[in-house]
Structure 1
Amino acid sequence: MTFLIKLSTLISRLCQFIGGISLIIIVLTTMLDVTARYIFKLTGGELGFTVKGGVEIVSYFMLFALLAAFAAFVERSQIIVDVFTQKMLQSIKGYLMGLFMLGFFFIGVVFTWGLYESAIDALEYGKVTQDLRISMMPIYAISAFLSLLLAIRSLIESINIFKTGEFFDAEETGA
């Protein structure tokens, strides 16, 4: 069990890193694009450039950031409605949380399978992005990898909850 917890923590940190890098790229791309447009406006069109494919860059890295964040914090992803859970026994809450984690495992598996098939199709048929004209295969492959990490973490967290009965409880932490 200790190995699984360490693996889950390692995956969480990897996903936090990927999500952080993705957010930095989003911010830098947006800042560069806004700055370039402002320089273009100030010089009356004399000097200027645009970030080619800026919208695509931002949208695909937003996809990576969201998938990574979901995988990194899957055990904290439940919105607890106090009306339904405040009188429940802790063991019942744990059982429900374990079932939710199994649900996220299945969602991760479905996402992984679909994105993997999309990556294979993109490679086979030469699908490219609209503006940058780069292959969609690596985008689908990275998304499939992050979805696989979500599935693995969800399964590990589910096993941990069913085995120990311990889970992240937002009501107890005040979050």
Structure 2
Amino acid sequence: MIFLTKLSTLISRLCQFIGGISLVIIVLVTILDVGARYIFKLTGGDMGFTVKGSVEIVSYFMLFALLAAFAAYVERSQIIVDVFTQKMPKAIKGYMMGIFMMGFFFIGLVFTWGLYESALDAIEFGKVTQDLRLSMMPIYLISAALSLLLAIRSLIESINIFRTGEFFDAEEAGA
């Protein structure tokens, strides 16, 4: 069990890193694009530098950031309505949370399979992005890998909840 907990923590930190890098890239591309447009406006069109595909870059890195964040914080992702759960025993809440984590495990597997098939289709049919004309295959594969990490973490957290009965409780944490 200690190995699974360490593996879950390692995956969480890896996903936090990927999400953080993605957000930094989003911010830098946006700043560069806005700055270049401002310089273009100030110079009356003499300096025509623009960031090609900035919308694509931002949208695909936002996808990576969201998938990574979901995998990194899956154990904290449940919104529990106090009206339904405040009178429930902690054991029942834990059992429900374990079932939710198993649901996320299956959702992660479905996402992984679908994105993997999309990557294969991108190779077979030559799918490319609209502006930059980059192959969609690596985008789909990275998304599939992040979805697989979500599935793995969800399964580990579910096993942990069912074995120990301990889970992140937003009510107790004051979140």
Q: Which band: TM-score by shorter chain?
A: over 0.9
Could you say which residue in structure 2 is the equivalent of 1:96?
A: 96
> How far, CA to CA, are the matches of 2:110 and 2:70 in structure 1?
15
* Structure 2 equivalent of residue 19 of structure 1: 19
The offset of 1:124, in angstroms, is 1.2
Identity rate, percent: 86
State the TM-score, normalized to the length of structure 1.
0.99
User: What does residue 166 of structure 1 align with?
Assistant: 166
Q: Deviations over 1:52-109 (max 9, x none)?
A: 0000000000000000000000000001111011000000000000000000000000
Task: Give the Cα separation in 1 of the matches to 2:11 and 2:138.
Answer: 20
Q: Distance in 2 between matches of 1:18 and 1:168?
A: 23
* Number of the residue aligned with 2:133: 133
Q: Which runs of 4+ in 1 moved over 6 A?
A: none
Equivalent-residue separation in structure 1 for 2:75 and 2:8 (angstroms):
10
Q: 1:144 maps to which residue?
A: 144
Any stretches of 5+ residues in structure 1 without a counterpart? none
Q: What SS does structure 2 have at the residue aligned with 1:132?
A: coil
Deviation at 1:48, TM superposition (A): 2.5
SS of the residue corresponding to residue 45 of structure 1 reads coil
CA deviation digits over 1:120-140, x for unaligned, max 9? 110111100000000000000
What is the distance in 1 between the residues matched to 2:124 and 2:142?
17
The CA RMSD over aligned residues, in Å, is: 0.4
Aligned pair count reads 175
The one-letter code sitting in structure 2 at the alignment partner of 1:76 is: R
Q: Distance in 2 between matches of 1:67 and 1:4?
A: 21
* Gapped regions of structure 2 (runs ≥ 5): none
> Which residue pairs with 2:29 in the alignment?
29
- 2:107 alignment partner in structure 1: 107
